[in-house]
Amino acid sequence: MFNTGKFVGKTVLITGASRGIGKEIALKLAKDGANIVVAAKTATAHPKLPGTIYSAAEEIEKAGGKALPCIVDVRDEVSVKASVEEAVKKFGGIDILINNASAISLTDTESTEMKRYDLMHSINTRGTYLMTKTCLPYLKSGKNPHVLNISPPLLMEPRWFANHVAYTMAKYGMSMCVLGQHEEFRPHGIAVNALWPLTAIWTAAMEMLSDKGGEAGSRKPAIMADAAYAVLSKNSRDFTGNFLIDEDVLKAEGVTDFERYACVPDAPLMPDFFIPSGTYDHKFAPGAGIGKKKVAHEAGVIEEEIKQVFASAKRLLNEDIVKKAGFVYEFILKDPVTKTERFITLDLKNGGGSLVDKKTTDKPDVKFTLSPEHFAPLFAGKLRPTTALMTKKLKISGDMPGAMKLEGILRKFTEGKL
């Protein structure tokens, strides 16, 4: 997606712009000569997450834009108002607001502390609402004014709620702002849209969450930046109230080469959360596509593959990986033919670790429910846990960050580097 220069002199306030998707969008618009308000909390570097509002501002200036770094807590009304007033004072107004700041905790109801629940709702839903409300008077007089929320389509499917209902509620709150405010702001010519990635996007936060295990199936933040550029280029009076997927936006703009966005070219893609069933399933499988090719496994073949997994585990598990992991995983193998259940426990919390063909605890940290034929491919790296979840080959309950961490563990398992 080429820069056209149409954002020169436009003022864009982006929350959570010190790193990741927010910063990538800022840099894309800066190449046109836009004024970027870097609104984020990070004033000093995080030990595991690089980037501050000041380092982002420096990059924006080098890219050709003008930058205003603002220390902003989107939960705090005083902080938000101060940043908006400072932006208006420096640049004369606000033309575009991008609500990107977000908090995540992929935990079930029992595991979600109320302070974590409050954090997600106060940043995701309330923060988006507050920032939009505060910018509104200036957006009304903006040039082709847009509000863009980095939030998902509103899919009312139980699978997107069951494992992390608190997070889904908070994230959907951002999308509900789009649903309501696009119609409310229509008389003012202010567009309000949502943009969401089709695949996982590889950022420093994603690297930390997945223990460096998901890069091969992810895309670079540049795809979201290019898609945002296309959306914000639309006439704000005509293009509003849309729940958009990044790849769809770029296809409509004539983009055909998506390998440029791949972190690892030709690697099977890993879908993001909140992607509609069926429509994109063919994107997330090596070869012909998930759900369109059934491989007939005889019971003896499946059992032999499972035995090989046990043999590999015995050889590779050690205390070092247990120290890094700290979770007990239970795999419930449900045979669709015999209707029987088989329990396999991967203990990466105690001693030197173990993989045993039985249930060892009533309270594993994470439970995976799947068909026996998918167990060995999961350990062999042929089926990614996240992809299996999105395509309904796998159900997960319990500690979702622990489940995400398994992605990196299984990658090392496949490489024989445990």
Give the model confidence (pLDDT) of 43-98 as tens digits.
988 877 888 999 999 999 999 999 999 999 999 999 999 999 999 999 999 999 99
Residues 348 and 212 grouped into a single domain: no
Q: Is residue 63 part of a domain?
A: yes
Residue range(s) defining the domain that contains residue 406: 295-415
Task: Looking at the structure, tell me whether residues 248 and 366 fall in a common domain.
Answer: no
- Fill in the DSSP letter of residue 269: P
pLDDT at 268 over 90: no
Within a domain: 202: yes
Res. 348: pLDDT tops 90: yes
Whether 245 and 306 map to the same domain: the answer is no
> How much is the pLDDT for 401?
78
Identify the domain boundary among 238, 261, 284. Answer: 261
pLDDT in tens, 93-142: 999 999 999 999 888 898 899 999 999 999 999 999 999 999 999 999 99
**Is residue 53 included in any domain, yes or no?**
yes
The per-residue pLDDT for 123 is 98
Q: What is the pLDDT of residues 182-225, one digit of tens each?
A: 999 999 999 999 999 999 999 877 776 665 556 878 999 999 99
Are residues 24 and 126 located together in one domain of the fold? yes
What pLDDT sits at residue 299?
67
73-77, 191-195, 232-236, 393-397, range with the lowest pLDDT? 393-397
Is 104 found in the same domain as 237? yes
- Mean pLDDT of the 143-172 span: 96
Residues 47 and 160 in one domain: yes
Which residue has better confidence, 124 or 271?
Answer: 124
> Per the domain annotation, does 278 fall within a domain?
no
Of 355, 333, 336, whose CA–CA distance to 409 is shortest?
355
Q: Please state, in angstroms and rounded to a whole number, the distance separating the CA atoms of residues 265 and 246.
A: 18
Evaluate whether residue 286 is within a structural domain: no
108 and 249 co-located in one domain: yes
Residues 253 and 309 both lie in one domain: no
Are 361 and 222 in the same domain? no
293-318 mean pLDDT: 76
Q: Does residue 292 carry a pLDDT above 70?
A: no
- Looking at the structure, tell me whether residues 235 and 313 fall in a common domain: no
pLDDT at 287: 40
What pLDDT score does 210 carry? 60
Q: Flag whether 239 is in a domain.
A: yes
Angle at which helix 165-184 crosses helix 127-139, to 10 degrees, equals: 20
With a CB cutoff of 8 Å and minimum separation 6, the contacts of 260 are none
Judge whether 129 counts as a catalytic residue. Answer: no
Single out the residue of 208, 201, 217 nearest to residue 388, CA to CA: 217
pTM: 0.79
Range with the poorest average pLDDT among 27-41, 230-244, 297-311, 383-397: 383-397
In the predicted model, what is the mean pLDDT of residues 310-319?
88
Provide the pLDDT for residue 225: 98
Greatest mean pLDDT among 319-323, 363-367, 379-383 lies in: 363-367
Q: Per-residue pLDDT for 288 more than 50?
A: no
Residues 395, 336 within the same domain:
yes
In contact, 239 and 147? CB cutoff 8 Å: no
**Catalytic hit among 117, 129, 138, 167:** 167
Q: Domain containing 358 — which CATH number?
A: 3.30.1050.10
Percentage of the chain modeled with pLDDT above 90 = 64
Average pLDDT, integer, range 153-172:
94
| Predicted local distance difference test score (pLDDT) of residue 402 | 83
DSSP assignment string, 285-338: SSTT-TTS------HHHHHHHHHHHHHHHHHH--HHHHHHH-EEEEEEEE-TTT
- Give the total number of structural domains in the chain: 2
Look up the CATH number of the domain holding residue 102.
3.40.50.720
Q: Final residue of a domain: which of 261, 285, 314?
A: 261
Question: Which pLDDT does position 213 carry in this prediction?
Answer: 58
